[in-house]
Amino acid sequence: MNDQDLDSLVEAIGRKDRSAFGRFYKAMERPLFRFVQVKLNDPFRSADIVHEVFLEVWRSAGAFQGRSSVRTWVFAIAYRKVVDVFRREGRLSYEESLPEQVDESPDAAEALIAAQNADAVRKCLDGLRPEHRLAIELTFFEDMGYRDVASVTGVPEGTVKSRVFHAKQLLMRCLSARLKMGKSNDGSD
């Protein structure tokens, strides 16, 4: 579903149109659940969070002003709810130890896409710090721009660029190491 369709649905939801809400739910439920599930690693709590997100959308759609895309708005709601869970559990880290750098090269993204071993990609993603993984997931899997990711996460756009840059570098190193291990394990060296 494109952004214009989502905008129209949110506008109708603001008028309490249940049919529009059903279509919106159907379009956004799966990506939201995946997003939350990756963070919490608990399908039951993830389902609860997604339910809370949709309740908030129902309650506040009429106040949505379109300063961001609907997808950004909804993912930001979900992200804040996940952060609330982390705060309650003491799992939230505010440490940002990497220097700001802007990534201008597509090489890391191409390497990530070219990696055919989904298990290796998943394991490499699992090895990233949460803030780096979130930046990669929103940028590449949810197809959000840096400005939208910054809006979702509540950090400056430059920080998002830095996180994506460093995460891509770490993913490339991890994937390269896994590919080398795979070649040496199959006897093709």
Most confident of 78-92, 102-116, 129-143: 129-143
pLDDT top residue among 70 and 177: 70
pLDDT top residue among 111 and 90: 90
- What residue segments make up the domains of the chain, in order of their start? 3-89, 107-185
| pLDDT at residue 183, rounded to an integer | 59
Whether 100 has a pLDDT exceeding 60, the answer reads: no
Instruction: Determine the Cα–Cα distance for residues 124 and 113; give it in Å rounded to an integer.
Output: 13
Q: Does the domain spanning 107-185 belong to CATH 3.10.580.10?
A: no
pLDDT digits (tens, 9 = 90+) for 57-68: 999 999 988 888
| pLDDT at residue 92, rounded to an integer | 53
Whether 69 has a pLDDT exceeding 80, the answer reads: yes
| pLDDT at residue 58, rounded to an integer | 94
pLDDT digits (tens, 9 = 90+) for 31-48: 999 888 888 888 898 999
Whether 109 has a pLDDT exceeding 60, the answer reads: no
| pLDDT at residue 32, rounded to an integer | 92
Q: Does the domain spanning 3-89 belong to CATH 1.20.1440.130?
A: no
Work out the pLDDT band at 175, boundaries 50, 70, 90: confident
| pLDDT at residue 43, rounded to an integer | 87
| pLDDT at residue 118, rounded to an integer | 64
| pLDDT at residue 97, rounded to an integer | 47
pLDDT digits (tens, 9 = 90+) for 113-166: 444 456 677 788 888 888 898 888 888 888 888 998 898 888 999 999 999 999
Whether 84 has a pLDDT exceeding 50, the answer reads: yes
